[in-house]
Structure 1
Amino acid sequence: MSTPATTSKSAPQRPLSPFMIGPYYKPQMTSMLSITHRITGLGLSLGAILLVVWLSCLAAGPDCYALIAPHLAAWYGKLVIFAFTWSLLYHFCNGIRHLMWDLGKGLDMPTAEKTGYAVIFASLGLTAGVFVLTLV
């Protein structure tokens, strides 16, 4: 008894994965926020290493801290601090959204899209608030 070939010419050609963003898959708010959540989680892990370096230099004394202080004050240091702060606040806001989903709330698409925009605006607003408060 022979089995039919799995690659018959009559089988439609379909993408292999729904995550093939481009001509086969239209990006959605929920998928883009999920990808961003994962990227910010990775960024927070790398930022935690920088935070440990900063705290270690601070604890080691003024000579060690003097080595990293110019980098913190430079434009690229401020950019890293801004990105780390936004990543932390985005991850926090989106984590609350995921907790609500775990409770079965906000799972319908219109609400998921509204809460997605809320996460974006809240994380940007909170980040701006942190920087306004630290500059005063």
Structure 2
Amino acid sequence: MAGKVWKISICMMLTVLLCACTGNDMMEKKVRDLDFTVVSTEDISEELKSHIDERKEETFTLIYRDGENMYLIVGYGSQEGGGYSIRVNDLYLGEQSVCVSTSLEGPGSGKNTESEIGAGTVSYPYIVIKLETLDAPVIFDI
């Protein structure tokens, strides 16, 4: 079993290194929009949570496949306070790749009290996007 987990981890790391690029200049021309769902923290598998926890300190992208579904994960690293959200700006099938654009939105513009935004604490905002498995590289724009 440990060998299988090790192989999955290596495949995921290679996929990220080979297929994940950042920067808007890498985005391809849109062929069609893709249907997706944002997965809540409670619905993430323990294996995927483990992979996220290993990377959460720094900004990261991750591609995870479980057979029928593909998960695109974007983490924005260590952030002061809480109350952050992540917006999916665009997710589409390009001419040769799946293209995803996200952005981190701050805890508010002075509307929240310090207790609401978690003053003095650190958070690790990330988003898990679920879509059908596609056999194409992924380009991230974060």
TM-score, normalised by the number of residues in structure 1? 0.24
Whichever structure has more strand as a proportion of its residues is 2
Larger relative contact order (C-alpha < 8 A, sep ≥ 6)? Answer: 2
Larger Rg: 1
